[in-house]
């Protein structure tokens, strides 16, 4: 089902083509709902119709709960003014937690990367969420990200929680072409400053087998080999 709708609604196809054969059979409010749903990422017109019909069929309380959840999230959730993570308070719970190591900042692309790292329970420093990665072809430069805020935090301890100077920046970008490009840009900027720069290790995932790993993963694993103590 996913494949079928995915194929029909593939990027660029669905919405931008003026829905030619669209009948006006739906009441206007239903049409409006379908159009709003179809504006969401990954939702084409067919999926939007399916969701709209589901909402029409579901009882009023469930539908209103969804509407309220959307309204609440837009009203109460903001970006943390320090690290740009989603937060209900400002600064966020991580930035205000005085038990964390405020001299270390781990840079990630998206809030969901931060959540994944937090769930390991292995990291006790602070974060900085870039809200994307450099992508020159899509017109995304450093100004479109929160890179300037990160450099300001490094330059001016007053902009880091507790006024603590940042001693190490850990680059936790995705190991993709654009993630690597972004890490390179940040490393160059950070090396102009007196701060240590590191990046997350990459290589073989735990529980994997050498014979199934691709060449890039194996190359990273060889380059990033570690001393056995």
Question: CA angle at residue 86 from 6 to 42, to 5 degrees?
Answer: 5
What's the CA gap between 121 and 106, in Å, rounded? 14
Angstrom distances, CA of residue 175 to CA of 44, 83, 109, 151, 196: 29, 21, 11, 22, 20
For residue 105, the minimal CB distance to Zn ion (Å) is: 10
For residue 155, the minimal CB distance to Zn ion (Å) is: 18
Q: Does 134 bind Zn ion (CB under 5 A)?
A: no
CA-based radius of gyration for the chain: 22
SS3 198: strand
Which C-beta is closer to Zn ion: that of 85 or that of 146?
A: 85
For residue 214, the minimal CB distance to Zn ion (Å) is: 35
Pick the stretch among 34-42, 50-58, 91-99, 114-122 that binds Zn ion (CB under 5 A): 91-99
Which C-beta is closer to Zn ion: that of 45 or that of 100?
A: 100
Number of residues that bind Zn ion (CB under 5 A): 7
Which C-beta is closer to Zn ion: that of 47 or that of 84?
A: 84
Q: Does 129 bind Zn ion (CB under 5 A)?
A: no
Q: Contacts from 1-7 at CB under 8 Å and sequence distance 24+? A: 5/44, 5/46, 5/47
Q: Which of 38, 43, 52, 95 binds Zn ion (CB under 5 A)?
A: 95
To 10 degrees, the CA torsion angle through 200, 202, 207, 211?
A: 180
Which C-beta is closer to Zn ion: that of 34 or that of 82?
A: 82
Which C-beta is closer to Zn ion: that of 82 or that of 130?
A: 82
| Non-local CB neighbours of 107 within 8 Å, separated by 6+ positions | 127, 128, 130, 150, 169, 170, 171, 172, 173, 186
Which C-beta is closer to Zn ion: that of 78 or that of 167?
A: 78
Retrieve residue 39's tokens: 């504006």
Retrieve residue 136's tokens: 């020159």
Footprint (CB under 5 A) of Zn ion, residues 31-90: 80, 82-83, 85
What's the CA gap between 200 and 159, in Å, rounded? 24
Which C-beta is closer to Zn ion: that of 37 or that of 145?
A: 145
Q: Does 92 bind Zn ion (CB under 5 A)?
A: yes
- Binding positions for Zn ion, rule: CB under 5 A: 80, 82-83, 85, 91-92, 95
């Amino acid at each position: 089902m996913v494949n079928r709708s995915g194929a029909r609604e593939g990027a660029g196809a669905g919405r931008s083509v003026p829905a030619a054969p669209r009948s006006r059979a739906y009441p206007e409010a239903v049409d409006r709902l379908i159009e709003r749903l179809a504006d969401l990422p990954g939702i084409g017109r067919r999926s939007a119709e399916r969701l709209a019909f589901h909402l029409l069929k579901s009882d009023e309380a469930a539908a209103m709960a969804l509407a309220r959840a959307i309204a609440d999230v837009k009203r109460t959730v903001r970006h943390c003014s320090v690290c740009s993570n989603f937060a209900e308070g400002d600064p966020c719970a991580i930035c205000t937690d005085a038990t964390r190591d405020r001299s270390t900042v781990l840079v990630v692309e998206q809030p969901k990367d931060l959540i994944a790292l937090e769930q390991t329970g292995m990291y006790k420093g602070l974060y900085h969420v870039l809200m994307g990665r450099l992508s020159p072809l899509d017109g995304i430069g450093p100004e479109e990200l929160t890179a300037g805020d990160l450099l300001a935090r490094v330059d001016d301890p007053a902009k880091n929680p507790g006024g603590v100077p940042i001693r190490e920046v850990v680059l936790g970008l995705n190991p993709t072409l654009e993630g690597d490009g972004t890490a390179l840009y940040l490393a160059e900027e950070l090396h102009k400053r007196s701060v240590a720069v590191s990046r997350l290790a990459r290589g073989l995932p735990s529980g994997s087998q050498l014979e199934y790993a691709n060449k890039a993963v194996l190359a990273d694993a060889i380059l990033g080999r570690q001393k056995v103590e």
